Structure 1
Amino acid sequence: MSKRELLIYLSALLLFPLMARAQWEVETDPAAYALKGFSAHVGRPIWKGKAEVLLGAYGLETPKAWHGNEGFTETSKGIALKPDYFPLKPAKGLFVGMEADFSRDHYRFDSTGEDLQRNHFRLGPRLGYRFDVGRHFYISPWCAVVYQFNSQDEVISGHRFKQSNYTFFPTVHLGWRF
């Protein structure tokens, strides 16, 4: 047995008891699918449900009405980390947290097809509410105001794609608690 295999085996043995008692959640954002993308997140409540950590992946095509740059197409694919705190009830109701994501954004000037890609890091607060619908299913409307650290206007085929450092992002996640 190699050292790597032994490490994996021992890690599984050590983590299995924790995972067997753990409550796990999966979430998705239906809006991402409507925007030619995807969304999948896995969450783990901590501190007796008073907090939660979500880790996910997403992709979407930003509507022109949102980015405001006529003649351009913008798509994003990335990963997100969302730690949240539930101040009123464990894993229910009001939550406050942070949104941190790293994305690969693709910009294309539609009439020429010329394009470029940039990596971006975003961070900001988020606020939401979790509604339980039965024992396992829940709905979480939330919004975030994120700051894009390396935001700059992009020039493609002599045309400027203007960007803001701040983005307001409202959405609704659907979740399932195991």
Structure 2
Amino acid sequence: MPESELPEDVLSEAERLTRLARDAVDPDEAEAYRSARDDVVGEYEFRARHREEDDVLVLHPDEWVDDDGIVDPAEIDDVDRGIERPLSGTGEDHEWSAVEEHNAACVAAVAEEHGAAHAANARAFADFLGNHYVRRIETAGAPEVLEFVEEYYPRNAWPTAEQRSLLPESLELLFDAADAEVPEYN
């Protein structure tokens, strides 16, 4: 597979902002996330859109787009320059190890700075997100956090009373370690 014209950190940020826009309740907030995403990829002369029917982020070079904002097939020189990134689903097995390595580093940071109870909660969320969605901590949206808090955590994490009482704070610490904010899930 050819190397993308967009650096991996730019792709990850575009995915994160697209998920935040997708999950936002307030239309102005969603537009702000889309605008930030467009600025990030625009620096590389790319355009982004969310194909809602299959929940995929689609990115393509500006030169493929005509004045009306429509991709002109005559301008496509190499289809491999286009990028599609699924925003949900289980992902590929080879992606899981990279996701797990990243999420484990975030959990380790929580453990080192905040102790075992917070680390156990962080590990439970990392396991949930990695095993069920093959996603990095910072890419989780409100639906995934809500599913974790309401369904997965009570049934699968076997938390102590202390861990249960610390869960909201633990999620804040974990997202901080991933340099992101916890999406509003209540």
- The TM-score, its normalising length taken from structure 2, stands at 0.23
Q: Which has the larger radius of gyration?
A: 1
Between Structure 1 and Structure 2, which shows a larger proportion of strand residues? Answer: 1
- The TM-score, its normalising length taken from structure 1, stands at 0.24
